[in-house]
Amino acid sequence: MTLAELKSLLAAHPDHHFRLRLPDGAPVPVSFHITEVGRVHKEFLDCGGTRRERTTCQLQVWVGEDYDHRIETRKMAGILEKGRALLPDDTVPVEIEYEDRVISQYTIEDHDLAGDAVVLRLAHKHTECLAPELCGLPDLRLPSIGGKTSCCGPGKSC
């Protein structure tokens, strides 16, 4: 989900609760805080020697001892607005950083409207080889069958 998509979702539901659901279906405790809005810019060489870069908006989520704390969509929109000066534009993808035994980073897969709450469904981030042809890896994608695309590919599972 891009920053623009998240802002639009929040604006469309200004008086809703704001919630997060982990990839295994478990909810992040409703008393979470957004402790950082960050721009993460990564420059790197892939295994094939191609220089690449990626910029994301990273929201750090923290659960404290104040169990009565809640974030509403209007407040979340205000938090994003405060971070606007850090971010290059609204096209950057949004990722969530959350600690549950270990610190993990998640992408936002989609959202649900559950009663009076906007619930972001988080997904695991994955690594991948960006130059499989240079690393000698087999092409694991299935060919197109009958004009339909394969079920395999980046961001998909077979």
pTM of the predicted structure, to 2 decimals: 0.83
Of 98, 102, 105, 111, the closest CA to residue 124 belongs to 105
DSSP 8-state secondary structure symbol assigned to residue 47: T
**Residue 140: its pLDDT value, please?**
61
Q: Are 59 and 37 in contact (CB under 8 A)?
A: yes
Please report which confidence band the pLDDT of residue 135 belongs to, taking 50, 70 and 90 as the band edges.
confident
State yes or no: pLDDT of 51 exceeds 50.
yes
Choose between 146 and 6: higher pLDDT: 6
Which comes out higher in pLDDT, residue 33 or 150?
33
- Residue 91: what residue type? T
Q: Which pLDDT belongs to residue 136?
A: 77
> Based on the number of CB atoms within 10 Å of its own CB, is 120 exposed (0-12), middle (13-18) or buried (19 or more)?
buried
Question: Are 76 and 18 a contacting pair, CB within 8 Å?
Answer: yes
